[in-house]
Amino acid sequence: MAAGGSPDAALNFGDGAVLPYSPAKVKAAPRGRTSSWSSLLLLLLGRTRKLAKVRLLLAAGVLLVLVLLASQVGPLMGWNHQPSLSASSPSRDGYMVLINTWRRNSLLKKAVAHYASCPKTDAIHVVWSENDPPPESLKTYLRNIIMSRSRNSHKPKLQFDLNEEDNLNNRFKPINGLTNDAIFSVDDDLLVPCSTLEFAFTVWQTTPDTMVGFVPRMHWLDEQKNGVVYYKYGGWWSVWWTGTYSMVLSKAAFFHQKYLDMYTYKMPSTIHDYVTRERNCEDIAMSLLVANVTQAPPIWVKGDVANA
């Protein structure tokens, strides 16, 4: 370029070729070099992204293979996961109160009124084993008392479970259409404060296959004769004196609804016959049934349990 950069200057490339000076070409030359670098950079970024995608796909494939191998190796190594027996049940947000009664309508009214006021009560079932069905006046009274005592927008549903014969095994007959896993079984003459009941329900929720109750008892080995093992049964004073217990009674206890089916259909008929004949011990039978299934002891919750 000639000194001074006059318009008449020319570009000399040193090989004898001389081109006229063009300011537009001079300004465009740097932009061309920048554009080349930008294109190269974009090309490199594109290739880097493609490599990253390939590596991600390879990593996902390796992870899938490892998962499949683990699923096959696990059973061979004894890593068999057993889901909870209660996993397929509908809900554990509330409980159904199952009241056993016999010709004590005044006590039944007190029990229904009390348990209807507990916030987690979802339904109330009354085991009715009298010859005559419950009078309509009693049903109406109980429904009205539930509506007035319940503090929830969803009022507990009342149902009478009618039985044709007076038999304590009726207490644990299966019930269709339950919407909750938890059953609180209680006699009509026992009232558990709502706060205490809520605490016991919370305990049960942590171990829903176990029996959680308020009335502890114990039994211990007595003797063995002719291959038959005999046990002694101890009441509350035995529990108090020894500081131990081995069962809780269903007269005030939580248990899973599945045990109703097990009691009715899977327990030996000789036990059903004994309960029918002696008119007793159905609560002991249920406690031992749950312990036999879970291979675990029940849980006693200490609380104020009052007579109605």
What token pair was written down for 235? Answer: 């009441």
Reply yes or no on whether 132 is catalytic: no
The total of other beta-carbon atoms located within 10 Å of residue 179's CB is: 14
Reading phi first (left if > 0) and then psi (alpha if -120 to 50, else beta), residue 197 is in alpha
The answer to whether the CB of 185 falls within 8 A of the CB of 253 is yes
Largest CA distance in the chain: 133
**Which one is catalytic: 122, 261, 283, 304?**
283
The answer to whether the CB of 126 falls within 8 A of the CB of 159 is yes
Q: Is 216 exposed, middle or buried (0-12, 13-18, 19+ CB in 10 A)?
A: buried
The total of other beta-carbon atoms located within 10 Å of residue 214's CB is: 22
**Euclidean distance between CA atoms 299 and 207, whole angstroms:** 10
The answer to whether the CB of 101 falls within 8 A of the CB of 126 is yes
Contacts of residue 194, Cβ cutoff 8 Å, sequence gap at least 6 = 114, 117, 118, 119
CA distances to 113, 124, 157, 222 from 106, in Å: 11, 16, 20, 41
Amino acid in position 255: F
Contacts of residue 163, Cβ cutoff 8 Å, sequence gap at least 6 = 127, 128, 129, 170, 173
**Euclidean distance between CA atoms 248 and 210, whole angstroms:** 11
Question: Where is 117: in which H helix or E strand?
Answer: none
**Euclidean distance between CA atoms 204 and 209, whole angstroms:** 8
Active site members:
283
